[in-house]
């Protein structure tokens, strides 16, 4: 099942099969979150890295206990997350990131990354964790991985509402979209933080 | 508000004030989770480490959108977590742990740590993350921090259903309970993994 958050963002449960959005050919237009989830599941299976998506934060107000069946939550509300969606461990190092996509062709809106996510990534960087962002341009299928600190500096210096694609390209590592894993971002993380 | 999971574990929301259970004097008997949450909040404020508790995993089935108010979840179910409750970053290192307490006086039941938690901590250790356990004996107020891999080895070698306190003591670092932060476990982590 799926529904929309108050901010319009689509929510789907983890059990949901991949839902292609018909925007083009091949892998383009598949939901970014599905591709990231498949990629981290691949990394876990192959013992390359251990990364999990955090559960959606929910404030539970009321629970029923129907006879002979499991507890049913009958009243709950979405809470604002205080972190990013993804974190984990890679050769002992702490990884933390957020992934977003845009349908704009030439630039990436700053507002796609929320303030609480950037604040958290800034805190991660201060603790010497690997804090990064994954950008996808839906139309072209291009994917980039950038240090979160670099993004925040570019945002602070900018007078615009979005970051031009050529600026992103100059300050990040490109990742080729492929069949499996769909987004192999760890080599880019390796280059950004450990070389 | 609070209620019990089907397994009898008490659930309280994060917004809940500390709920003392009258079992003795001083800090003893305060819920372990509250003390851990206060301690990690202290570590975050002081920029000592960035550790968060993960949200309770919930499968959302139905959501209402009442006019002029926020989205209300009207049907949802608890899901089994696939990780531990706590992870974070400390000087670039990935930390992951679970904390449990017992009212038994001389030994700690193995079953207090669930299989999926130990499996996850084993995966963390394989990725060179710092995987550890925090034990609290409610009656005496004693607290111990042990490497998860050591616990799993002791469990594998044991023919009993619980781990004697003297074995825990010999294989872990004790932590003194104090006023603030209530459980200062990071020096023990430092000794276990980095010295």
Query: Can you state the angle between helices A115-126 and A148-157, rounded to 10 degrees?
Result: 120
- Report the residue from A54, A60, A129 with minimal CB separation from B13: A60
Cross-chain Cβ contact A76/B76 below 8 Å:
yes
Q: Which residues of B touch A44 (CB under 8 A)?
A: 123
Here the tokens at position B49 are 């480490």
Q: How many residues does chain A have?
A: 195
Closest-CA distance, A1 to chain B, in angstroms, reads 7
Residue with tokens 């001083």: B26
Cross-chain Cβ contact A70/B63 below 8 Å:
no
In this predicted structure, what is the pLDDT of residue A179?
80
A53 touches chain B (CB under 8 A): no
pLDDT (tens digit, 9 = 90+) per residue, B16-57? 344 444 444 444 445 899 999 999 999 999 999 999 999 999
Answer yes or no: is pLDDT of A30 > 50. yes
If pLDDT is split at 50, 70 and 90, which confidence band does A8 have?
A: low
Burial class (CB in 10 A: 0-12, 13-18, 19+), A39: buried
DSSP structural state of residue A57: P
A1 touches chain B (CB under 8 A): yes
pLDDT (tens digit, 9 = 90+) per residue, A58-111? 999 999 998 878 899 999 999 989 999 999 999 999 999 999 999 999 999 999
Domains of chain B: 2-54+82-194 (3.40.1350.10)
- Report the residue from B49, B90, B127 with minimal CB separation from A50: B127
Bridge partners (DSSP) of residue B62 are B75
- Report the residue from A11, A88, A124 with minimal CB separation from B50: A124
Q: Which residues of B touch A79 (CB under 8 A)?
A: 55
Bridge partners (DSSP) of residue B96 are B87, B131
CA proximity to A65, closest of B21, B53, B11: B11
- Written as tens digits, the pLDDT of chain B (195 aa) is 455 555 555 555 443 344 444 444 444 445 899 999 999 999 999 999 999 999 999 999 999 998 878 899 999 999 989 999 999 999 999 999 999 999 999 999 999 999 999 999 999 999 999 999 999 999 999 999 999 999 999 999 999 999 999 999 999 999 988 888 999 999 999 999 998
Q: Is A84 annotated as a binding residue?
A: no
Here the tokens at position A154 are 């570019």
CA proximity to B133, closest of B36, B47, B60: B36
Convert A54-76 to b/e letters by CB count within 10 Å (16 or more is b).
bbbbbbbeebeeeeeeebbbbbb
Residue with tokens 């508000």: B1
Strands (E) across chain B are located at 2-4, 10-12, 50-53, 58-64, 72-78, 86-90, 93-102, 107-109, 130-137, 143-147, 162-164, 173-175
Cross-chain Cβ contact A50/B123 below 8 Å:
yes
First to last CA, chain A: 42
């Amino acid at each position: 099942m799926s529904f929309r958050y108050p901010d319009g963002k689509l929510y789907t449960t983890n059990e949901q099969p991949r839902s292609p959005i018909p925007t083009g050919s091949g892998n383009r237009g598949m939901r970014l979150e599905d591709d990231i989830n498949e990629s981290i599941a691949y990394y876990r299976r192959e013992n390359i890295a251990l990364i999990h998506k955090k559960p959606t934060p929910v404030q539970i107000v009321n629970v029923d206990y129907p006879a002979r069946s499991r507890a049913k939550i009958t009243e709950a509300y979405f809470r604002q997350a205080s972190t990013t969606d993804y974190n984990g461990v890679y050769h002992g190092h702490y990884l933390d990131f957020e992934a977003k996509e845009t349908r704009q062709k030439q630039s990436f809106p700053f507002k796609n990354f929320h303030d609480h996510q950037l604040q958290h990534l800034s805190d991660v960087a201060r603790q010497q964790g690997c804090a990064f962002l994954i950008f996808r341009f839906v139309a072209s299928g291009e994917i980039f991985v950038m240090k979160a600190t670099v993004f925040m500096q570019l945002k602070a210096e900018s007078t615009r509402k979005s970051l031009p694609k050529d600026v992103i390209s100059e300050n990040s590592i490109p990742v080729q979209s492929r069949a499996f894993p769909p987004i192999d971002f760890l080599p880019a993380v390796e280059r950004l933080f450990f070389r």
